[in-house]
Amino acid sequence: MVTGKFIIQDYLGIHMKPASSIAETALLFKCKVTLSHNGRSVNGKSMLSVLSLGAKKGFEIEVRCEGADEKEALQAILEIAERENQTSKKTSI
């Protein structure tokens, strides 16, 4: 299992476009992808689940990947989160 975090910088928070991009990227990998905030965890491969976190500007989101391609998945998801949502990222592998 590997984990990383990103902080939402976009004043709109995680909306439809970044949620879709994160989920689509997660679907490219075999490993389990979970996003968490404030004690709530959701399936990172589901756009609606990602949206349901209700992540607003300043929220820190943890990404947890478990499985065969976990490191590659984490890297790709943090990169897409940074690009799509203008975030700052932290990685802990």
Domains, the chain = 2-92 (3.30.1340.10)
From the list 1, 15, 16, 40, the catalytic residue is: 15
Looking at residue 80, its pLDDT comes to 93
15 is catalytic: yes
Token look-up 């209700």 returns: 54
pTM score, two decimals? 0.87
Positions of the chain with pLDDT under 50: 87-88, 92-93
CA 88 to chain centre: 12
H helix runs in the chain, sequence order: 16-27, 47-52, 70-85
Report pLDDT for 23.
97
Q: Please, are residues 35 and 53 in contact by the beta-carbon 8 Å criterion? A: yes
Which of 30, 21, 23 minimizes the C-alpha distance to 71? 30
